[in-house]
């Protein structure tokens, strides 16, 4: 039995799709019973519960020989770091209590650092909590920044006419599509081919600088001359709060951006076939970003 947390999210859904396609027996966990129903119709067990509830997760993990663990995003929480710790404590309790032998955990580039990376500190702590469980075989996936993060820039892009962001315009960084993370997780969950505690970085198809990314995204939405503007972090923090983000969450994001710009989230291994994934930014731009920008998807801003 494979158990997937965050089954209705970007990476969890991709993992479920991959595993159901392989005929694997799995249990999909999410907060909303209704959103889980399509998985039940395809043969999966479903479990509706809160991931910050240790008792509920212990029940959800019963009978699992491998689980996929991820912290569902909740940046609107008044204290996001406290939320992260509650979720990861619940996971550690459930893995111990249900005697789960293997886990694949969604972490992040930069998770080797115990501080200075904002919300990434939460997955650093998840790694440490899982590593402390005797006998657990755990694979920590450390992907690059999600291409889906560009979706959060749609409204500012419409307002400003240029793509805004915190990163330097000309420093190439790896980027990855969330569906590729989920599919990779699915392959390792199905293979159950890891032991001890190990780390696997996932770096997307290649590195992109933000100025180039703006050109690619602009072409997909009919704005081939789209530019990129690096926003000063002090100014960006206030803008995040104005959009409704809690003050603590905005400060965490700024800490992460500062850490990223300082190189704390750079890959620790060279690019290789093992850590390179298929979906290019060009494909993401045409299949995901452009429909959202042009208002052709339910989740469009």
Considering only CA atoms, which of 289, 144, 257, 290 is closest in space to residue 205? 144
pLDDT score for 286: 97
Burial of 296 (0-12, 13-18, 19+ CB in 10 A): exposed
For tokens 């072409």, the residue is: 219
If phi over 0 gives left and psi between -120 and 50 gives alpha, with beta otherwise, what is residue 116? left
Residues in the chain, total: 301
Q: Are strands 66-69 and 2-4 parallel, antiparallel or unpaired?
A: parallel
Per-residue pLDDT of the chain (301 residues; tens, 9 = 90+): 999 999 999 999 999 999 999 999 999 999 988 999 999 999 999 999 999 999 999 999 999 999 999 999 988 888 999 999 999 999 999 999 999 999 999 999 999 999 999 999 999 999 999 999 999 999 999 999 999 999 999 988 998 899 999 999 999 999 999 999 999 999 999 999 999 999 999 999 999 999 999 999 999 999 999 999 999 998 888 888 888 889 999 999 999 999 999 999 999 999 999 999 999 999 999 999 999 999 865 443 3
- Where do the H-state alpha helices sit in 173-228? 178-191, 210-220
Each domain of the chain, given as residue ranges in start order, spans 2-146+177-202
For the chain, how big is the Rg over CA atoms in Å? 19
Q: Would you state the structure tokens that stand for residue 36, as one six-digit string?
A: 């889980």
Fold classification of 2-146+177-202 (topology level): Rossmann fold (3.40.50)
CA 89-90-93 angle, 5° bins: 85
Which DSSP category does 142 fall into? E
pLDDT score for 298: 40
Q: Kindly report the pTM of this predicted structure.
A: 0.93
Query: Using CA atoms, how far apart are residues 204 and 280, in angstroms rounded to an integer?
Result: 7
Q: Would you state the structure tokens that stand for residue 70, as one six-digit string?
A: 């991820």
């Amino acid at each position: 039995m494979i158990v997937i947390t965050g089954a209705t999210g970007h990476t969890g859904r991709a993992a479920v799709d991959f595993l159901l396609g392989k005929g694997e027996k799995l249990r999909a966990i999410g907060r909303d019973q209704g959103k889980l129903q399509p998985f039940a119709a395809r043969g999966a067990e479903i479990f509706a519960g809160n991931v910050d509830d240790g008792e509920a997760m212990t029940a959800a993990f019963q009978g699992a020989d491998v689980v996929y663990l991820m912290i569902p995003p909740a940046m609107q929480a008044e204290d996001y770091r406290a939320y992260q710790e509650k979720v990861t404590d619940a996971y550690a309790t459930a893995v111990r209590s249900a005697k789960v032998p293997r886990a694949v955990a969604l972490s992040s580039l930069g998770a080797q650092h115990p501080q200075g990376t904002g919300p990434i500190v939460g997955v650093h702590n998840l790694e440490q909590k899982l590593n402390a469980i005797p006998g657990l075989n755990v694979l920590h996936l450390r992907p690059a920044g999600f291409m889906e993060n560009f979706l959060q820039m749609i409204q500012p892009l419409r307002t400003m006419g240029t793509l805004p962001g915190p990163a330097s315009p000309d420093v190439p960084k790896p980027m990855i599509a969330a569906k590729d993370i989920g599919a990779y997780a699915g392959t390792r969950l199905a293979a159950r081919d890891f032991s001890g505690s190990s780390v696997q970085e996932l770096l997307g198809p290649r590195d992109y600088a933000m100025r180039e990314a703006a050109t690619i995204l602009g072409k997909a939405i009919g704005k081939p001359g789209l530019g990129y503007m690096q926003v000063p972090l002090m100014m960006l923090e206030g803008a995040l709060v104005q959009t409704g983000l809690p003050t603590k969450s905005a400060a965490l994001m700024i800490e992460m951006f500062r850490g990223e710009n300082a190189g704390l989230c750079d890959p620790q291994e060279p690019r290789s076939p093992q850590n390179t994934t298929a979906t290019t930014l060009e494909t993401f731009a045409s299949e995901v970003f452009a429909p959202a920008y042009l208002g052709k998807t339910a989740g469009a801003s």
